[in-house]
Structure formats: C-alpha cells, structure tokens
A and B are shown apart, each in its own frame.
Chain A
Amino acid sequence: MKPPEVVVLSGKGGTGKTSVAAAFASLARRPVIVDCDVDAPDMHLILRPEPLSHAPFVSGHEAVIDPALCGRCGRCAAVCRFGAIVRPRSREEPWRVDAMLCEGCGACELACARGAIRMNEAQRGAWMRSDTRFGPLIHAEMAPGAENSGKLVALLRRHAAEVAEDTAAEIILCDGPPGIGCPTIATMTGADHVVFVAEPTESGLHDLERVAELAARFRLPGSLFINKADLSAERTLRAERFAADRGLALLGKADYDTAFTRAQMRGLTITENGSGPAAAALREAWSRLTRALAQRRRTPPALRVL
C-alpha cells in the first residue's frame, strides 16, 4: 500500500517551506523525499544527496524548420499562436523557431506545404534518484526557461511512489513549488495531506488564502505551520482563525529566527543543527502532523470531513 503522501506548500516563496520540509524529513521514519519545486530546487542543499541514477526528462515537442526544404511562404508563422516562428530580416537568413516560445503543438508542421517542419522530442532537463542520510530523494533539474514543469513534477511523484513501495517507506514528503499554477496543481493531485507554511504578513496571508482554496478544491485535508510568528501578533491570530475556519490542523509556530539561516549555512536541518525554540517548534509540529495523519487513517472515509 502506498504510504501517505504529504506535500509542503506556501503559495509564496521565502516562507521557510523547504526548511520545514527538510526538518520533517529528518524526523520521519523511513521517508521518501521529493523536491517538487523543480524551478528552483533547494532541498539538496540541506540533504546533500549521493546520486544513484540520472535520466533525461523528455517531454513534449519542439518544431524545427529545415532550411533546405523551406519555401519561405510564412504559413507557419500565420498559424502559430505563440509567436514562436522568427521571421528572417533578410533573404539570406533562414526562417526559424524560437524554442523558448514553441509549445510543441504541431500547427506549423500541419500548415507547411513542403514538409519542411519536423517536431522533435524536447529535452527539458533531468531527474535524479539519490540517497540521503534520511532516505531516498527524488529530484530534478530543469533547463532554464523550460516548459512542462507540471509534467516533471508528476513524473517525480510517480517514481517516488515506486521507490516508496520498494523500500517499504512509511511516508512520502514533497517540498512543493510556490504559486498556484501548473506545478502546484501537479504536486497536489492525488496527495493525501498538505502542510501550509505561512508568514503572518499581509502578502503571506493573501497567498495562503489562494493556495488553501486550491487545496480545498482537491478536497485535500491540510494543516498550518506559521513561521516568523512574532513579526505580527495580529496577523498570526488571523492566520490561526483562518486555519480554524478552514478545518486546518494547527501544527504550531516559530518566531523570526536566524536558526533557519544558520542551519542552511551548514547544510543541516534546523532540528539537526540545534535545540533552540525553532527546532523545538518543528519537533512539536511533526508529532502533531503524525497524530493527524494516524487519526485520519483510523477514521472511516464516510466520516471524513474537509
């Protein structure tokens, strides 16, 4: 049976999401860890993985114009809705495709009367399986400016589920991307629980509301950890009320603390790097989270509420 899959999200970058996810990884029993923030993955800076395997991430297509066959009619440019066909500025220059704009739909290939356009498979990056001191890590590197980050996230999570089964893992922990778009949706789809890490700031609360609304559409149960709580007592209270209204379990809070940066500088999780208040808050948060997950497993599905 697949173990519970917990994703850590924030809506906004810089809230301490990766630090919280890494601390959970160090406290979990037999976890599989996934870095779903494929745009800007940082988990490896703390987990310092030993790579086991490395595979290209091939997804979607890219149009390529063969200048030898091109009749320079411009039909491709007329049908392309992404402005990806670059018109030559002189007769000597060939017609070409801007790979960063091409979405790989194939409209140009269909429109070309001379068969001068080929759709090539596109390599958008690589994904890796690695070993860490806490367990297997599934992570990726995207080519700069690449498309299809949602598909890459889905691929990482599929492999994580396989690894979890092979290693009899007890939990899958995903560090999620910021925002609410395609990679975040790909991270949430089919997960079992979402932990929101939020700051008690005007923007942090605004972003939390949006990402929590997205999770509610997936009927995904969730919980909240408040970071930098002492920046604003009033907004911390608002975040706590929001959690209560939405049925999110409150995992706890940590104050504005350089412990986060100090641990990061040493490539350690906060709970490995010391026993100050931030480490204590994260240990408490982890035990609350495991209790919430266990309770949920015991509750018959018919009685589960959002």
Chain B
Amino acid sequence: MSKHEPVQLLDCDVEAPNAHLFLGPKIRQRVPVAVTVPRVDEEACTHCGECAQACRFNAIASLPNATVVYDELCHSCGVCAAVCPSGAIAEVKREIGVVEIGEAGEIGFVRGTLNVGEARSSPVIAAVKSYADRSCTILLDAPPGTSCPVVQTLRGCDLALLVTEPTPFGLHDLKLAVETVRALGLPLAVVVNRDGLGDDRVDAYCRAQNIPIWARIPHDRAIAEACARGERAVETSDALQSAVEQLGHRILEMEETAR
C-alpha cells in the first residue's frame, strides 16, 4: 500500500510482537512505558487499612505494622491514594514495557513490547497507539483473542480486518472475533488465509452474516516456507501478491468513500 500513499504500521501484539521480523525497521527512538503504582510512606502510615479495603484488585495488604503493595495486581486506578486519610500514599512510575519508533523504507513503524513477567498489556498498546500518525493510512497488527488487549487495539479504528482459516478452529474463533468487533460497533471484513485447506463453512457463515470476504490467500506450502524464513511472502507467491494488492485497493477505496 505504501506505493500509493503514506502508511504506518503499529504492532499492537505487544505480548508477541513479530512485525519487525518481516519489515526490518530502523528504530530511531525507544520510549519506556510506565504505569503508576502506590508507594506507602511508612513514617506517615497509621496502618488504618482504608487503602486495602478500598482496593478492588487485592493489590494492597494492610498488616498491623506494614502496608504491602503487590505491584503486578495494581490497575493504577488511584483509589488507594484518594482514600488514605494520612496522605501516606504517593504514586510512582513502574516500567512495564517499551515502545520503539522508526521506519521500514517508506513505512512508518511503531512497535510495543511488554516486559516478560508483566500481566497487563493494555497500557503498552495504548502507548503504541499514541504514536499514530493521522496523516497516514494506519495499519494495526492486533493481538489474538477477544479480551481487553484486543478491545484496546480496536477502539477508534475504522475497520476490523479479520484473518481466518477455513477450518473448524478458524471458524469458531472468527465467530468470537466478529461478536467482539460488533460489540464495538466497527465495520468488518474477512480475509481467508490458507484457502482450500478445509471446507466452505467460513464462506457460508460470512454469507449468512453479510460479512464481505475481501481476499483469499491460497493454501500454499511455499508461502509458509517464506514466512518461516522471515521473508515477505508476497515475493514468493503471485496469488498472495494479488490478494494483498486487492486488499490494499479495498482499504483505499474505503478511505475515499469516507472522505
């Protein structure tokens, strides 16, 4: 798509970011992502236990002589600091990941990486999205699943492109993804990957649900091998090349209509 107009790629799959392996971007800026967690001033703390009682995430334990914070459970909501009658709770920054910004040729590139051992990927995804360049067509590589990280990625987008396989697992996960996208009220389209591998139940489902299939990528071992090597598989398969071009046109068309 970058042949036609400026494009930016945001890798929002921060638990398993992989887009850089295919694009080989030059990174020119690294920005740590931090969340706030409470720090208790033991001098000022009276061990009244109000903070522990107010915290709905069980992230604070109030003991007779100490107040213990479990950083990993904290959602950074600030309730503990707000309820503390002695003003003993300050909020400090804790790093949970990093955002890297750069370019891969013509393509603007941003990726987020969640530190191993951290549970909450949503703040890292939000940080990645804060670097979105609205003058470009922005492509977001979303995490798998249907819960908070996916919702965080989808919010504010104009289209959800759901990539599936024509198999029972593919169809089942597609249905869950469609429900999630619809709950957010976004338009959606489907790409069938490894077309010809299984059966036509994905097609039947999309017809029944009025979901357009924008492209089909054939089931082809050569594509899988190119991906394994971390290559851009479009250079290996003409069928893939034309499927991707078709997708690019559809997206540009959609943008034209929106304007």
B143 near A179 with CB under 8 A, answer yes
A105 touches B225 (CB 8 A): no
Closest B residue to A152 using CB positions: B147
Q: How far apart are A185's CB and chain B's nearest CB, in angstroms?
A: 5
- The 8 Å CB contact of A201, one of B82, B114, B230, is B230
- Which B residues, 197 to 243, have Cβ-Cβ distances below 8 Å to chain A? 197-199, 221, 224-225, 227-230
Asked if B251 is at the interface (CB within 8 A of a chain A CB), the reply is no
The distance in angstroms between the C-alpha atoms of A204 and B40, with both chains bound, is 42
Residues of A in contact, count (CB < 8 Å): 61
Q: Are A261 and B197 in contact (CB under 8 A)?
A: yes
Partner pick for B21 among A144, A182, A202, CB 8 A cutoff = A202
Is the Cβ of A177 less than 8 Å from the Cβ of B169? no
Please tell me if A264 contacts chain B, counting CB pairs below 8 Å. yes
| B167 in contact (CB, < 8 A) | yes
Instruction: Judge whether A107 and B77 touch: CB under 8 Å.
Output: yes
- Verify if B47 is at the interface (C-beta below 8 Å from A): no
Q: Is A4 an interface residue (CB 8 A)?
A: no
Instruction: Write out, one digit per residue, whether chain A residues 268-296 have a CB within 8 A of any chain B CB (1) or not (0).
Output: 00000000000000000000000000000
A127 to chain B, nearest CB (A): 15
Given contacts A105-B57, A179-B16, contact A147 B148 (CB under 8 A): yes
Interface: A94 (CB within 8 A): no
Name A60's contact: one of B18, B22, B56, B116 (CB within 8 Å): B56
Residues of A within 8 A of B116 (CB): 180, 210, 213-214, 217
How far, in angstroms, from A167 to B121 measured CA to CA in the complex? 37
A232 in contact with B229 given A12-B16, A181-B149, A210-B116 (CB within 8 Å): yes
User: Using a CB-CB cutoff of 8 Å, which residues 115-140 of chain B contact chain A?
Assistant: 116-121
B176 within 8 A of A: yes
B118 to chain A, nearest CB (A): 7
Q: How far is the CB of B218 from chain A (nearest CB, A)?
A: 14
Bound CA span A194–B185, Å: 38
Q: Which of A107, A110, A179, A201 contacts B144 (CB 8 A)?
A: A179
Question: What distance in Å separates the Cβ of B219 from its nearest Cβ neighbour in chain A?
Answer: 9
Which segment, of A38-46, A85-93, A243-251, faces chain B?
A38-46
- Whose C-beta in chain A lies nearest to the C-beta of B197? A261
With A81-B78, A232-B229: A178-B144 Cβ-Cβ less than 8 Å: yes
Do the beta carbons of B146 and A142 come within 8 Å of each other? yes
Q: Are A45 and B77 in contact (CB under 8 A)?
A: no
Please give, as numbers and ranges, the residues of chain B lying within 8 Å of A106 by CB-CB distance. Answer: 54, 56, 77, 79
Range class of the B interface residue count: 35 or more
Do residues B172 and A144 form an inter-chain contact, with CB atoms below 8 A? no
Once the chains are docked, how many angstroms separate the CA of A32 from the CA of B151? 32
**Smallest CB–CB gap between B161 and chain A, Å?**
16
B16 touches A210 (CB 8 A): yes
Cβ-defined contact, A207 with B167, below 8 A:
no
| Residues of chain A contacted by B86 (CB below 8 angstroms) | none
Give the residues in chain B near A144, CB-CB below 8 Å. Answer: 146, 176, 179-180, 182-183
Say yes or no: A39-B79 contact (C-beta < 8 A), given A100-B151, A185-B119: no
Q: Which residue of A lies closest to B83 (CB)?
A: A110
Q: Are B78 and A107 in contact, CB atoms less than 8 angstroms apart?
A: yes
- Report Cα–Cα, A216/B182, bound state, in Å: 39
A39 contacts across to B, CB distance below 8 A: 144-147, 150, 176
Q: Select from chain B the residue with minimum beta-carbon distance to A109.
A: B79
Q: Please encode chain A, from 103 to 126, with 1 for each CB lying within 8 Å of some chain B CB and 0 for all others.
A: 111110011000000010000000
Contact status B119-A182, CB under 8 Å: yes
A residues 172-229 near B (Cβ < 8 Å) are: 177-185, 199-204, 206-207, 210, 213-214, 217, 228
The answer to whether A265 and B167 have CB atoms under 8 Å apart is yes
- Contact present for B169 and A231 (CB under 8 Å): no
| Beta-carbon contact of A145 and B183 below 8 Å | yes
- Answer yes or no: B76 CB below 8 A from chain A CBs: yes
The 6 closest A-B pairs by CB, nearest first: A39-B145, A202-B230, A105-B77, A179-B15, A203-B18, A144-B180
11 contacts between A and B (CB under 8 A): A11-B16, A42-B173, A81-B76, A107-B77, A110-B79, A149-B147, A201-B227, A210-B16, A231-B228, A261-B167, A265-B198
B residues in contact (CB < 8 Å) with A: 15-16, 18, 21-22, 54, 56-57, 75-79, 82-83, 114, 116-121, 143-151, 167-169, 172-173, 176, 179-180, 182-184, 197-199, 221, 224-225, 227-230
Q: Add 15 more A-B contacts to A107-B77, A179-B149, A264-B169 (CB < 8 A).
A: A13-B144, A39-B145, A105-B78, A146-B146, A146-B147, A179-B121, A180-B16, A181-B15, A181-B114, A199-B228, A202-B18, A202-B22, A203-B21, A206-B18, A217-B116
